[in-house]
């Protein structure tokens, strides 16, 4: 199977000049965050993201020549920073399968005023955490869907043990990355019984667990609404054991709703993309590994930038293109989600970057 992408033709008329004003989209949202996928490949086959029956040995991933090189990514990142982007998150696929990723981290860490972070499944962190930290990576988010080894191996479908992911978290902490965020996608009947254990494991450690509602990302994970565990249910379950209180967002557009333990033992977060859509404050763009720009996690279409880079386009031309894409943006998928929209063809999360 080959990943289907629906780009706008690169032969269309040049974008109008950017006038230098802060970028605002059709719904009045400003641009703040950029998520960069450095690869569409992963060493896991998590059932909610890259199910093995689809992403098998016949699946056609993006080739090496099609992927943006580190210098191309860094150039785009500098242009995005000039347009108001304050935070870049490196994603995949699994970003740590991209060879010598610390080189890219060093390039991005040199951009003034940029908050740089990375999301990983943690499997390769034990041997890469030190090099990433030395290159300038200050924070990392690790996906971990259960502390129960049998459940975790079933979810990642790669027979990978929990202990190695925890080793990666500890390696990142030892390298000075803090706080580490630990993401758990909660799916009813699969790992919802393990929510409290996850909260307890990281309570008081300085790390932050974030519980994510199971979403209809892509078109291959067989999503159903009855498998979604509402974040309100998760907060209630944890709060019954360890009283919680709501905490203010760190910034406008933060995806996680924050809850503090009343006894001072840290905090948790919940990401409620299904039951409490946050489209109205979404300030994120996504750049795929082969250089297409996506305005929503649930996008059906991308906007190519790679042809501009490789044809020698001036920075001004690329900036105009990015500005035009953002100003035309009107996505609000989670606000209008229905059983029918969930069945629409969407680009896979492993391609766009989560």
* Residue 141 belongs to domain with CATH number: 3.20.20.70
2 inside domain: no
- Two structure tokens written together for 340: 């029918």
**Residue linked to tokens 């009107």:** 330
pLDDT given for residue 343 in this prediction = 54
pLDDT given for residue 334 in this prediction = 72
Distance CA 250, CA 273 (A): 18
| Intervals of the chain under pLDDT 70 | 1-12, 217-222, 335-346, 349, 354
290 inside domain: yes
CA-based nearest residue to 95, from 58, 123, 63: 123
1 inside domain: no
Burial of 345 (0-12, 13-18, 19+ CB in 10 A): exposed
Distance CA 284, CA 72 (A): 20
| CA dihedral of residues 132, 138, 143, 148 (deg, nearest 10) | 90
The boundaries of the domain holding residue 162 are 33-352
CA-based nearest residue to 317, from 8, 17, 13: 17
25 inside domain: no
- If one counts every other C-beta atom within 10 angstroms of the C-beta of residue 289, the result is 26
Q: Report DSSP letters for 117-144, one per residue.
A: EEEE-STTHHHHHHHHHHHT----EEE-
Count of domains forming the chain = 1
Residue 64's alpha-carbon distances to 175, 288, 313, 315, in angstroms, are 30, 13, 22, 24
269 inside domain: yes
**Is the previous residue joined to 93 through a cis bond, with omega within 30 degrees of 0?**
yes
218 inside domain: yes
140 inside domain: yes
Burial of 35 (0-12, 13-18, 19+ CB in 10 A): buried
Pairing of strands 87-91, 115-120: parallel
CA-based nearest residue to 302, from 4, 1, 48: 4
82 inside domain: yes
Taking each helix axis from N to C end, the angle separating 315-327 and 70-82, rounded to the nearest 10 degrees, works out to 60
Using one digit for the tens of pLDDT, what is the confidence trace for 61-74? 999 999 999 999 99
pLDDT given for residue 1 in this prediction = 41
pLDDT given for residue 221 in this prediction = 61
Long-range contacts, 235-239 (Cβ 8 Å, 24+) = 235/259, 235/268, 235/270, 237/195, 237/196, 238/195, 238/196, 238/199, 238/268
Distance CA 280, CA 284 (A): 12
CA-based nearest residue to 44, from 5, 92, 4: 92
């Amino acid at each position: 199977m080959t990943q289907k992408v629906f780009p706008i033709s690169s032969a269309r008329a040049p974008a109008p000049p950017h006038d230098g004003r802060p970028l605002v989209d059709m719904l009045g949202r400003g641009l703040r965050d950029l998520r960069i996928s450095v690869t569409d490949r992963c060493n896991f086959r998590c059932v909610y993201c890259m199910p093995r029956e689809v992403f098998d040995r016949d699946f056609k991933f993006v080739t090496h020549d099609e992927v943006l090189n580190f210098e191309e990514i860094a150039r785009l990142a500098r242009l995005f920073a000039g347009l108001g982007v304050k935070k870049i998150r490196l994603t995949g696929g699994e970003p740590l399968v991209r060879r010598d990723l610390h080189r890219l981290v060093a390039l991005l860490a040199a951009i003034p005023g940029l908050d740089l972070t990375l999301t990983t499944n943690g499997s390769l962190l034990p041997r890469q955490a030190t090099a990433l930290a030395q290159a300038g990576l200050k924070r990392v988010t690790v996906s971990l869907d259960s502390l129960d080894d049998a459940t975790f191996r079933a979810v990642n479908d790669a027979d990978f043990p929990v202990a190695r992911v925890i080793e990666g978290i500890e390696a990142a902490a030892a390298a000075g990355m803090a706080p580490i965020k630990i993401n758990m996608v909660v799916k009813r009947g699969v790992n919802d019984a393990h929510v409290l254990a996850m909260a307890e494991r990281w309570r008081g450690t300085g790390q932050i667990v974030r519980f994510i509602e199971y979403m209809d990302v892509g078109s291959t994970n067989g999503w159903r609404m009855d498998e979604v565990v509402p974040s309100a249910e998760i907060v209630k379950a944890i709060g019954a054991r360890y009283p919680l209180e709501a905490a203010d967002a760190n910034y406008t557009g933060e995806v996680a709703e924050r809850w503090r333990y009343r006894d001072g033992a840290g905090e948790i977060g919940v990401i409620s993309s299904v039951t409490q859509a946050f489209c109205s404050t979404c300030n994120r763009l996504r750049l795929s590994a082969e250089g297409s720009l996506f305005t929503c996690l649930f996008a059906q279409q991308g906007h190519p930038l790679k042809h501009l880079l490789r044809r020698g386009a001036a920075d001004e031309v690329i900036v105009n293109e990015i500005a035009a894409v953002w100003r035309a943006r009107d996505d609000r998928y989670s606000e209008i989600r229905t059983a029918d929209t969930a069945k629409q063809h969407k680009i896979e999360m492993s391609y766009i970057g989560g």
